[in-house]
A = this chain, B = another copy of it.
């Protein structure tokens, strides 16, 4: 069910981010240690922000560990905000349009987890998507549906609230169909300015999610560490599983939490679904 990584901070070379760490995302595509599956070889995706109006995105069904083009391109991209994802399908087809991150305007969205009983709920969830936005759904994944529900429920104006409402709608729809614990999620989402990480699941047993500790502090703790030295003080990394064993470098994001990163500031907020008001 996937592993992901997000970076914000001063511009970084994407190749360093993806390939250099000891337990990099590329290594995790072949053998993750904390995921539901060891192998996340059902495709990958990379999104990054530059001075262009919208972020660039490449996605492929190739397993990330062997994809030469990914390695080449990442050596040529420097960006202050990067999202990367390696996929282990939870049932839907292996195709480029089912790879994360998904993009809408300036927004990127990626997910580790699933909507339980998705096929049973699919019609009702689809009907809750705004008709104009619905046309933008190209694949068949639960994540893409989730994203489009959040867009429908006001993501561009009120990001955290919209995800809250989308989760509420998914859970309500699930329960209406007899699914006890409809949603499992860690989500990474951004518009290039603010990064949001969510960790929540209906059953309270979400996939792992970590964020990096303060870089300046770590640089003092480990003065010889090359990787740390290359990072800016405002660098922040959020990951499904840590990229290294470095003691003190990683903090777990608790259940039912939303982490908000903006201009080097971070906020940890409690997160809970917001059920829909009953409509006639």
The interface of chain A, by Cβ under 8 A from chain B, is 30-31, 38-39, 41-42, 48, 50, 52, 56-63, 66, 68-69, 72-73, 75-77, 89, 92-97, 119-120, 122-124, 126-127, 129, 131-132, 134-135, 137-140
Contact = CB atoms under 8 A, between A and B. Distances in A.
A63 B89 CA distance: 13
B140 A134 contact: no
Contacts of A60: 69
A136 to B, nearest CB: 8
A39 B31 contact: yes
Contact of A69 (B58, B123, B129): B58
10 tightest Cβ-Cβ pairs between the two chains A and B? A123-B131, A119-B135, A95-B95, A123-B134, A58-B69, A138-B140, A122-B135, A41-B41, A39-B39, A56-B76
15 contacts: A31-B39, A39-B39, A50-B76, A52-B76, A56-B76, A57-B72, A76-B77, A93-B95, A93-B97, A120-B135, A122-B131, A123-B129, A123-B132, A123-B134, A126-B134
A95 B92 contact: no
A77 B72 CA distance: 12
A66 B92 contact: no
Contacts of A50: 76
A129 B122 CA distance: 12
Nearest to A135: B119
A75 B56 contact: yes
A94 B123 contact: no
A178 to B, nearest CB: 14
A59 B67 CA distance: 11
Contact of A96 (B68, B119, B123, B126): B68
A18 to B, nearest CB: 15
Contact of A95 (B42, B97, B119, B129): B97
B66 A69 contact: no
Nearest to A89: B66
B42 A31 contact: no
Contacts of A38: 31, 38-39
